[in-house]
A and B are shown apart, each in its own frame.
Chain A
């Protein structure tokens, strides 16, 4: 099997080995690190992670599928995750999500045809005092309104 994960994956993982008493404890950190490569976890990546951890590939899939942050299907270049849980809902999250859907021309859970954006509804992000909030890739955006969303999408949409 030819390797697809970069050397940086192996370097990062080897540095973590002494921090844990078991090798399988590296599974979550490994999946995070591996996901950096494509933004999602295609089957060959999951297999390579299994080989590195020295567990059966089924065990890797069993774990990866439990957690929402591991993308087992392809996602767009940018991932918008709008919190719609109680505190955000009370502060207008539904309108924020609706506005994103309109702007991107997709429904929550879908990806634009140019593979630029994936939109999703998110559970509580822990930013309730600054609601409504969302995540864009790894960053938080808080105290949202529709203008802020427009500016963000304009900036990302025009960046090549």
Chain B
């Protein structure tokens, strides 16, 4: 049965980004008008009821996050949209910003009303230069029409949005790294607590939400938290989600599907058309480069936050990367580990040293100079980096793939030690 979607029918349509389209085809800014007639507590209540969970990777309940913001604050509060989209395999926020920018603005303004903030920033990764320009054009339209700025709908509520470009650093997707970067510093994650809800941007109470999270908010306000919650098929996980499928499938791309309504097997074989050139499946990375790998025997798992967590991995940013039998998993892991070594900010020793060490061991194994001891050492290193030994989740993100690839595909690593050559050309 075809299910209702919120976003994907507008993707690919250049006209969708205009304010006219947004007003006429998507009831644009009617949710903001509705929210401004509600108490902020009721807006937060509706979002709690919706079971909307953060779409950036952590899956934290959005309404609960908003509820953490103190009502009274001597300094300004902030709404920050995390548009740093940089988890390898993730490419959904880019389309949301390209084709439905006003959804994001409206979601931010509603969030601003809910927590008592009149200032929002969209922190967009620097590489999305074109998307930043499109956002600014859309912002001009929204300001001219009076949907942003001073005294919105004559209610006395002010809300400003500024697009702030990053400059190439994966770690700025981590919310406190992002806040430091927004403040004009190196994007190094902060010691927590204090959490951003208490002391975030410029020291003020701050909500940091992913693009897709904020884009869902206008629908929740217009159609109700219960409606949104019921779109999801499992308890405590509402809505549809944008699933990013890439790698060796016949139809890579975005799929907007009800959360929890299908298995990984269905995602790969039914939705994404199966494996490229009808090859056999070798491995699946279900939720971005940070998520532990799944073997072909493990793909009957339901694709949602909790089932994947129970399966020892994570949904993350819903970025599924599919690897066929033709590609070497050791080589994939080397590339992932290089990425984390490159992106480690360097503050915490286990992450800074450990990621580089794992990368050099993987290079040695692939070049045919590795030993059995090296394979064990990879697992030991992963154990010593992961498990909350670092200020932010990058350490765990780097450790999880290494531990899981070595455990689940050990024969592939051992083949190199015994003298096999990489068959991936």
Whether a CB of chain B sits under 8 angstroms from the CB of A29 is yes
Q: Are B184 and A63 in contact (CB under 8 A)?
A: yes
Besides A24-B185, A129-B253, 13 more A-B contacts (Cβ < 8 Å) are A21-B76, A62-B186, A66-B186, A70-B168, A86-B289, A89-B331, A90-B327, A91-B246, A124-B88, A127-B94, A128-B244, A130-B252, A131-B246
A68-B244 contact, Cβ under 8 Å, with A124-B86, A124-B88, A128-B91:
no
Binding site for B on A (CB under 8 A): 16, 19-22, 24-29, 31-32, 53, 62-63, 66-70, 84-87, 89-91, 123-131, 135, 138-140
Q: Return 8 A-B CB contacts under 8 Å, by A number.
A: A21-B76, A26-B184, A63-B184, A87-B89, A126-B85, A128-B89, A128-B244, A131-B246
Q: Of all chain A residues, which has the CB nearest B129?
A: A138
B424 to chain A, nearest CB (A): 9
Of residues 300 through 329 on chain B, the ones whose CB sits less than 8 Å from some CB of chain A are 319, 321-323, 327
- Which of B89, B91, B94, B245 makes the CB contact (< 8 A) with A86? B89
Query: Which of the four size classes fits the interface of chain B?
Result: 35 or more
A69-B168 contact, Cβ under 8 Å, with A63-B186, A126-B86:
yes
Interface string of B160-188 (1 = CB under 8 A from A): 10101111111000000000011111111
* List of 6 A-B pairs having minimum Cβ-Cβ separation, nearest first: A68-B168, A67-B167, A27-B184, A69-B168, A128-B246, A87-B246
Q: Of all chain B residues, which has the CB nearest A87?
A: B246
Binding site for A on B (CB under 8 A): 76, 85-91, 93-94, 125-130, 160, 162, 164-170, 181-188, 202, 244-248, 252-254, 285, 289, 319, 321-323, 327, 331-332, 335-336, 339, 342-343, 345
B14 to chain A, nearest CB (A): 16
Q: Are B166 and A28 in contact (CB under 8 A)?
A: yes
Q: Are B91 and A129 in contact (CB under 8 A)?
A: yes
Q: Are B167 and A90 in contact (CB under 8 A)?
A: no
A136 to chain B, nearest CB (A): 12
Cα distance, A126 to B92, chains bound together (Å): 8
Q: Are A32 and B167 in contact (CB under 8 A)?
A: yes
Cα distance, A66 to B189, chains bound together (Å): 13
- Which of A53, A85, A140 makes the CB contact (< 8 A) with B335? A85
For B162, list chain A residues within 8 Å (CB): 16, 19-20
For B321, list chain A residues within 8 Å (CB): 86-87, 90, 128
Q: Are A28 and B184 in contact (CB under 8 A)?
A: yes
Q: Are B181 and A85 in contact (CB under 8 A)?
A: no
A86-B285 contact, Cβ under 8 Å, with A62-B186, A126-B125:
yes
Q: Of all chain B residues, which has the CB nearest A123?
A: B339
A128-B85 contact, Cβ under 8 Å, with A28-B166, A67-B187, A86-B336:
no
A29-B164 contact, Cβ under 8 Å, with A85-B339, A139-B130:
yes
A126-B94 contact, Cβ under 8 Å, with A21-B76, A90-B327:
yes
Q: Of all chain B residues, which has the CB nearest A27?
A: B184
Cα distance, A85 to B332, chains bound together (Å): 9
For A70, list chain B residues within 8 Å (CB): 167-168
Cα distance, A91 to B186, chains bound together (Å): 33
A133 to chain B, nearest CB (A): 9
For A128, list chain B residues within 8 Å (CB): 88-91, 244, 246-247, 252, 319, 321
For A138, list chain B residues within 8 Å (CB): 129-130
Q: Of all chain B residues, which has the CB nearest A53?
A: B184
Q: Are A123 and B343 in contact (CB under 8 A)?
A: yes
Q: Are B125 and A66 in contact (CB under 8 A)?
A: no
